[in-house]
Amino acid sequence: MIGVNCACVLIAALLLPNIVTGEKPLLKTRLGLIQGLEADDGDYYMFLGIPYAKINESNLFGESLPHPPFDTIFEANDDSIMCPQREEFNQTIQGTINCLTLNIYVPKTANSTNKLPVLLYVYGGNYIVGFNGRYMYGPKYLVRHDIIIVVFNYRLGPYGFLCLDIPEVPGNQGYKDQKNALRWVYNYIEEFGGDRNKITLDGHSFGAISVDLLLHSMNENEKLFDKVILQSEGSLSPYAKLQRLHEKSVLKMARHLGTNTNDVRQAITFLSSVNSSLVIEASLKVSIVYSDCIEKTFNNAFKSMSNSDWNIKVPGAKNVSFMIGNTENELIHVYGLDIPEISRDLDQILRSSKYSPLTAIDTYEIAKIIHGLSQNERNV
Ligand SMILES: *[C@@H]1O[C@H](CO)[C@@H](O)[C@H](O)[C@H]1NC(C)=O
Ligand SMILES: *[C@@H]1O[C@H](CO)[C@@H](O)[C@H](O)[C@H]1NC(C)=O
Ligand SMILES: *[C@@H]1O[C@H](CO)[C@@H](O)[C@H](O)[C@H]1NC(C)=O
Ligand SMILES: *[C@@H]1O[C@H](CO)[C@@H](O)[C@H](O)[C@H]1NC(C)=O
Ligand SMILES: *[C@@H]1O[C@H](CO)[C@@H](O)[C@H](O)[C@H]1NC(C)=O
């Protein structure tokens, strides 16, 4: 590890005003010293697992708070941090509640006179799964186009999307995490070589719903991005806006974990003291459905939309460029199974033990089947 004294010497001879080249780039930022890594698959630096907000330790279900600056060098080298969830692919319960981190990927061409545009990515996952690791959201291909990529975590499931009618847990906590991440990027990305006037907010599926809602929640005095990309979803999606209240579910979760109470606050306080893996397990047991939440008028409400908001004015959308689209045959692996040709061929591939887990070749075979069907213009 480079000592602070040594770092100060090195910082004088820079590329970026603050970046030191070498095996491990060291950045001097307003948040303190941040040490990243050099990528081994391209000409870029990686700053992994930087906390952009922190959890309120007395209320893990409430709003996240600003993260204090670092007193010692922050080693930005861990992209395995995940918010509590049942992992999407192997279905094991994973994650830690101190998960509000972001990963920043910076092409080496960035410097103080060559500030690069920024792509800020919001993962999907239906309010319950997803994380920012390179395992799913690596930068390798995009970073070649001289843009900075940022991918952040936000809380999921009970920690991100409980909608209770109390100021401690008003709802939309996960969206507020997202907004905190946007603010962090707007405030600090220039120190990483980014241009804060060129930020594109991009998301797919539930991430696209998020991007759309973030656009709606923006006001003219706080423009945190200037372009958006919505991939295969939007805030008018039937998956958004279920507007449930979760009081009963929270009481059931507490009961499941051994505390009988009819008081939602008591249940939340209790659940804040329980291991997050057990809380996720309990939330799965009581089958909660999450959605964005029409908040009551507590402070700092996240502006969501109601079902009657079809013609709403969106002041934050002024001068914001849009790209929006969907994927052909999307969700065919779910809905296509009712169509005989698809289910026959897919069944053969998916259910044969030889193909578990799927290899690249299986995926290719599946893609060929789906492509063949779309060539025939099957309407699925
Ligand atoms: C943290 O949560 C507790 C319990 O809800 C609350 O009293 C306190 O004000 C919160 N802290 C901050 C800094 O918001
Ligand atoms: C499940 O996935 C997580 C996240 O990638 C990983 O850390 C964990 O080791 C995996 N567990 C098993 C049993 O494969
Ligand atoms: C900054 O980057 C540009 C483009 O890569 C390059 O032409 C210029 O020389 C760089 N400036 C410094 C000070 O490194
Ligand atoms: C929660 O429980 C799991 C499984 O028993 C354990 O691996 C993990 O370390 C615990 N987490 C905390 C924060 O105590
Ligand atoms: C939109 O962009 C135009 C041209 O750059 C500028 O004159 C105008 O002030 C912008 N409007 C808003 C609301 O930002």
The predicted pLDDT at position 220 comes to: 77
- Please tell me the number of the ligand nearest to residue 169's CA: 1
| Average pLDDT score over residue span 218-241 | 82
Which residue's alpha carbon is nearest to atom 10 within ligand 1?
56
Full strand arrangement of the beta sheet holding 26-29 = 26-29, 32-35, 74-75
Which residue's alpha carbon is nearest to atom 5 within ligand 5?
319
Which residues sit with their C-beta closer than 6 Å to ligand 5? 318-319
Sign of CA dihedral 160, 161, 164, 170: positive
Backbone angles phi, psi at 316, to 5 degrees: -65, -15
pLDDT at 8 over 50: no
Q: What is the pTM of this model?
A: 0.85
350-358, long-range: CB < 8 A, 24+ apart: none
CA of residue 84 relative to chain centroid, distance: 13
pLDDT range class, residue 334, cuts 50, 70, 90 = low
pLDDT in tens, 108-149: 999 889 999 999 999 999 999 999 999 899 999 999 999 999
The answer for residues whose C-beta is within 8 angstroms of residue 372's C-beta and 6 or more apart is none
**Which of 16, 108, 111, 112 most suits a substitution to test ligand 3, by most atoms within 8 Å of the C-beta?**
111
pLDDT in tens, 45-93: 999 999 999 999 999 999 999 999 999 999 999 999 999 999 988 899 9
pLDDT range class, residue 289, cuts 50, 70, 90 = confident
Domains of the chain: 38-243+294-325 (3.40.50.1820), 247-285 (no CATH), 332-375 (no CATH)
The predicted pLDDT at position 12 comes to: 29
